[in-house]
Structure 1
Amino acid sequence: MVLNIAERHKLILKKLEENGFVEVTDLSKEFDVSLVTIRKDLKALEEKKLLFRSHGRAIPSNPYTTENHVNVKEKLQTKEKIRIASAAGLILEPNDSIIIASGTSVIEFARHLKPVEGLTVLTASLNTALILSENPNIDVIQLGGIVRRSSSSVIGPISEKMLAEFTFTKLFLGVDGIDLDYGLTTTNSMEASLNKEMIKAAHKIIVLADSSKFGRKGFGRICGLHEVDQIITDSGIDEKTKNRLFELGIDVTIA
């Protein structure tokens, strides 16, 4: 039976919801129409903001994240970030020397951090440094460098040079995107460069990311998932993603 445009669109969206993606070639064969027809279908659905076209396929939404000011990002997924922050605090051990990177998830971590004996924190985040400096039981080191106003954090060669002088037990890293194939990303290339140096300086890499970050990509690539030891996220993560992370040897904590 030949399907009309409305019927094809309905089935395309149904398959997209079930599988997480659709392929142009598969749809062409299944509906017995040309590749050109399917591309037109996907273009029409994309114009209605119902999907996002990418490399011969379509996915539910645009995976590329845009840069927002820290004040805006703080208002997103706040309950999830608080739970993630509390779970991250349980990882701390006496005499830990840790890096807290930048981003709203790690700022929330700083707010809920209960200091252990002999804790030293180095951070790129100005807000994190201010929060932790109020606690006399934490030694705080603020990285120097270029102030990135949108995230209230520092970046650049001065920051990277400072990092080379230290070694740390743990890195608590916030990201803008986690793609299972591409890895961790952020919206700023200089921040990505600094994050790479943080990874080199730390023994254990812990990512704090709410579930909205999965399937997303930022402009600057930080690293592949093979470099990550643990991800702390919320219950919104889907089973397929969680199982894939387990297969990659990553410890997944659901807060």
Structure 2
Amino acid sequence: MYAEERQQRVVERARADGRVEVTELAAEFGVTTETIRRDLTVLERHGVLRRVHGGAIPVERLGFEPALAARDAVMTAEKERIAKAALAELPVEGAVLIDAGTTTARLAEVWPADRELTVVTNALPIASSLATRPNTAVLMAGGKVRGRTMAAVDDWALRSLADTYVDVAFIATNGVSAERGLTTPDTGEAAVKRAMIAAARRVVVLADHTKFGNDCLARFGSLSDVDVLITDAGLDEDAAAELSAAGPRVVRA
């Protein structure tokens, strides 16, 4: 097993159980405790785990939110597959909303040049990526910019979204579960995501499989609000069926 694959599984275990122990992980993967400690150091450097005595805890459980660059560096192949699958949900012409997030940013990277589309976004990196694309008009939902996610939030963003109505909203999320729905660590971003859902005829959620079963502080929607949920093949069929039963069509890219 490659180190990257092992580290990915460590993160999944930490998010599912709330904590991982060095000795247990070493026994499970058949490696030394020193190898596991190095893995945890790498994952802490990426901003997804926080080292504690004897193991590690996912940052979400400690009330922290990984910075944009740290989140962008993990699950890259899965995010690219999700973004390409999301292209099937784009209208031929019309208006769409794109939420701030590293997976939604991948959608901007593969954006088609042959469609007349207006994009409303609260994400500075996404606006910058799409502003020079042919046939694409970009509107920014203004507001206070969070340095951690480069997303505009609070009253100014909410006021502009209240007067917006689009064909499709592409929404990012930090957590997805059948019990809690869609969640994120920051209440300001939760309010904006809630407004985006209300502003769209159809809602498409883009989330890699590590987000599932990971409940965060602020709930901004239920699965019944979602038309399509696009994830990667790391989500098993039973979990996909459970989510689908709650409302959305689930696509595993």
State TM-score, norm by structure 1: 0.75
Where does residue 70 of structure 1 map in the other structure?
68
1:121 to 103, 119, 123: 119
Structure 2 Cα separation of the partners of residues 142 and 222 of structure 1: 21
Q: Is the 8 A contact 1:164 1:201 kept in 2?
A: yes
Displacement over 6 Å in runs of 4+:
none
Where does residue 179 of structure 1 map in the other structure?
177
- In the alignment, residue 138 of structure 1 is paired with which amino acid? T
Q: For structure 2, which runs of at least 5 residues remain unmatched after alignment?
A: 1-12, 26-56
Deviation at 1:94, TM superposition (A): 1.7
- In the alignment, residue 127 of structure 2 is paired with which amino acid? A
Where does residue 158 of structure 2 map in the other structure?
160
Where does residue 221 of structure 1 map in the other structure?
219
Where does residue 232 of structure 1 map in the other structure?
230
Deviation at 1:78, TM superposition (A): 0.2
Deviation at 1:117, TM superposition (A): 2.6
Q: Give the match's secondary structure for 2:89.
A: coil
Question: 1:190-229 deviations in whole A, cap 9, x for unaligned?
Answer: 0001111111110111000000000001211111111111
Question: 1:132-177 deviations in whole A, cap 9, x for unaligned?
Answer: 0011310100111001000011000100000111210100001100
Where does residue 240 of structure 2 map in the other structure?
242
Deviation at 1:48, TM superposition (A): 3.6
Q: Is the 8 A contact 1:229 1:251 kept in 2?
A: yes
Where does residue 197 of structure 2 map in the other structure?
199
Structure 2 Cα separation of the partners of residues 161 and 173 of structure 1: 18
Q: Give the match's secondary structure for 1:107.
A: helix
Question: 1:13-53 deviations in whole A, cap 9, x for unaligned?
Answer: xxxx9xx88xxxxxxxxxxxxxxxxxxxxxxx9684769xx
2:85 to 80, 84, 87: 87
Structure 2 Cα separation of the partners of residues 83 and 227 of structure 1: 23
Structure 1 Cα separation of the partners of residues 220 and 164 of structure 2: 20
Q: Give the match's secondary structure for 1:90.
A: helix
Structure 1 Cα separation of the partners of residues 198 and 105 of structure 2: 22
Structure 2 Cα separation of the partners of residues 46 and 191 of structure 1: 26
Larger CA Rg, structure 1 vs 2:
1
Structure 2 Cα separation of the partners of residues 225 and 133 of structure 1: 31
Identity %: 31
Change (3 A) 1:127 1:162: same
Question: 1:57-90 deviations in whole A, cap 9, x for unaligned?
Answer: xxxx867474011011000100000000111112
Please give the residue correspondences for 1:126-137 in structure 2 after superposition, counting only pairs within 5 Å: 126-137=124-135
Change (3 A) 1:186 1:116: farther
State TM-score, norm by structure 2: 0.76
2:187 paired with 1:189: yes
Q: Give the match's secondary structure for 2:169.
A: strand
How many residues matched? 205
Structure 1 Cα separation of the partners of residues 114 and 205 of structure 2: 20
- In the alignment, residue 216 of structure 2 is paired with which amino acid? G
Deviation at 1:237, TM superposition (A): 0.3
